[in-house]
Amino acid sequence: MAVIGIPQTQIHRLSQSKYVDSIRWLPSVSPLQQSAIVAFFDTDADSPSLEVHSLDQESKTLDLISSWVPPSRISSLKCTQAFAVASTISGSLHVFSATEAQDPSSAFRSVVAADGKGFHVGRIAGVDLMDGGSNECVSVGEDGRVNLVRVLDGSYRKVFDGNGLVSYTAVKWASPTEFVTGGCGFGLQWWDLRRPGSAVAQFKGNLEKGRTSGIIHSIDVHPSRKHTCLAGGSAGTVFAWDLRYQHQPIILSGTSNDTAAQPLSESEVWEVQYDSYTKSSMNNFSSSKLLPAMFCSEDGILGVIDQGEEPTELLAEPCAINSFDIDRQNPSEVICSLEWESIAIVSRP
């Protein structure tokens, strides 16, 4: 029996009959409602769908509010206070109003879309939109293109065209004029729209001698520390790259020769996010210390890394955890998509 008085982490697994490509919390429109936007793919019917579900607080079940059929499978999904943005593997980008999406009476459709040959060729690997930013959505693709889409009218402009000589796999805004991209070989690029033409700083991916190279799958930048970016990728790697010390990446996790602690995961880290719920240990608090970060991995781990501390494991599944999202209004709640066609909701005490 659980000890009364000590609340424990609660985990709810919701089995779906479709593959979950990506999942995000939507900003709640009322304090009583909590809803999520989910990118599904039905392998039997070979059809993708983007659905908004409300979460029943008591029974922890999902109820469908609205659904939209994208032209192809969703490759990346992000949410801000006002918008949800989704990109597809066929190279189109769609923006939705976050409030309208949760209103069953209004038609759930993309308010703005961008596609066409001049936009992206093939899969868009990552998109990002910033709260209080320039209302421009940045998109990167395997084709090496970096584009900005205006949320208001769907017009786009090219920031860079790599012509396939480079491929980008992740992107994140750092400030209204700066963003970070990631790609093959653990490479990170810092872009500044005020200095167009090429990236203003590059991280060449030389994390450590003897370490095998890999791909960046996810990037996060904390609004209070815009000079540092957090990246996760192959071989259980989670590291931070500080623009002020460009040649000294801080490795938080990964198969390494000299870190004493056993890493939680040795496989692909699919997503990283700063975790505002976990409080950093205060005694060695300094501005140079990194904020706690959450990650999910191919070998089924959802964990939190705090620099200088033992990593903690929130969830250990027999299958991969492909994406997760921390509810910004209620950061104790984490929603994850699992490989075996299911969704898990983790409620921390």
Partner 1 sequence: MPGLAPADSAGGGPDSVNGALVPYLPDSHVSAIYPLRHGLNPPISRVSVSWGRGNSLRVSVFRQPDSDGGEVGGKVVELTLGKSRDGEISDTQWRKIAYGSVSPFALLQSRKNSAASLSRMQLSPSPYHLEWWEYVMEYSKDISALLGDPKSVGAPLIEDPNEVFIKKSEEPSSLKAAWELMEMFYVDKLSQAWLPERLVDWLADYDSLISVDLPTVHSKLVEFQSKIVTLQVIEDDPRYWDLISSALAVGWLEIVVKLLRLHGSYRLDQLGRRETENGLVEAVAVLISKMPRMRPAIDAGKHGECFKAKPDFVKAWERWRAQITKLDSSAFWVQCDNRQTREGLKNVLQIMLGNVDVLCSATCHWMELYISHFLYIRPFTAGLESMYSLAQNCIRLKHTSNPHKLMRLMIGILGENNEVVLSECSRGFGTWMVAHAIELLTAGSNEADFLVHEERENLGGISLEELHRLVYAQLLSSHLLTWQIAPIYLTSCMRQGMGMLEILLLKQPVQENQVLLKLHLFVQNLEICRLYELDGVSSRLMEISGMYHWKHGRKGCAVFWLQQAQDEVRLSKIASQLFESVGKSISGESFKQWEGLIELLGSEGQPAGGLDFLHKYRDFKKCLQHADSKKDADAARQAVESLMSLMRNASTPQRFWLPILYDAVKLLSWDKRPLINVSQTNLLLNKLQELSLARLRPDFVEPELPTHALNHVRYSLATNLGRAILEES
Binding region for partner 1 (CB under 8 A): 15, 17, 19, 21, 41, 43-44, 46, 48, 72-73, 75, 89, 121-122, 142-144, 161-167, 169, 183-185, 187, 189, 197-199, 202, 204-206, 212-213, 215, 217, 234, 266-268, 270, 298-299, 318-320, 322, 339-341
CB of 77 or CB of 112, closer to partner 1: 77
Q: What is the closest distance, in whole angstroms, from the C-beta atom of residue 341 to partner 1 in the complex?
A: 7
Closer CB to partner 1, 31 or 210, in the complex: 210
Nearer to partner 1, 239 or 292 (CB): 239
Query: Please, what is the minimum distance in Å from the beta carbon of residue 218 to partner 1?
Result: 10
N- to C-terminal Cα separation, the chain:
17
3-state SS record for 141-200: ECCCEEEEEECCCCCEEEEEECCCCCCEEEEEEEECCEEEEEEECCCEEEEECCCCCCCC
CB of 112 to partner 1, least distance (A): 24
Rounded to an integer, what distance in angstroms lies between the CA atom of residue 342 and that of residue 328? 22
Q: In the complex with partner 1, which residue's Cβ is closer, 144 or 263?
A: 144
Q: Give, in order, the Cα–Cα distances in Å from 339 to each of 22, 35, 227, 315.
A: 11, 21, 34, 14
Pick the closer one to partner 1 by CB: 53 or 123: 123
- Per the rule left: phi > 0, alpha: psi between -120 and 50, beta: everything else, 73 is beta
Q: How far is the CB of 257 from partner 1 (least distance, A)?
A: 15
- Least CB distance to partner 1 at residue 145 (A): 11
Q: Which is nearer to partner 1, 170 or 335 (CB)?
A: 170
Residues paired with residue 160 on neighbouring β-strands, in sequence order: 146
- Least distance between partner 1 and beta carbon 86 (Å): 13
Cβ atoms < 10 Å from Cβ of 245: 12
Rounded CA-CA distance 288/203 in Å is 19
Shortest distance (Å) from residue 38 CB to partner 1: 14
Q: Which of 137, 95, 139 is nearest to 121 (CA)?
A: 139
Judged by beta carbon, residue 112 or residue 321, the one nearer partner 1 is 321
Which residues, other chains included, contact 177 with Cβ-Cβ below 8 Å and sequence gap of 6+? 134, 192, 193, 194
In three-state secondary structure terms, 246 is: coil
Q: Least distance in Å: CB of 143 to partner 1?
A: 7
- Rounded Cα–Cα distance for residues 325 and 323 (Å): 7
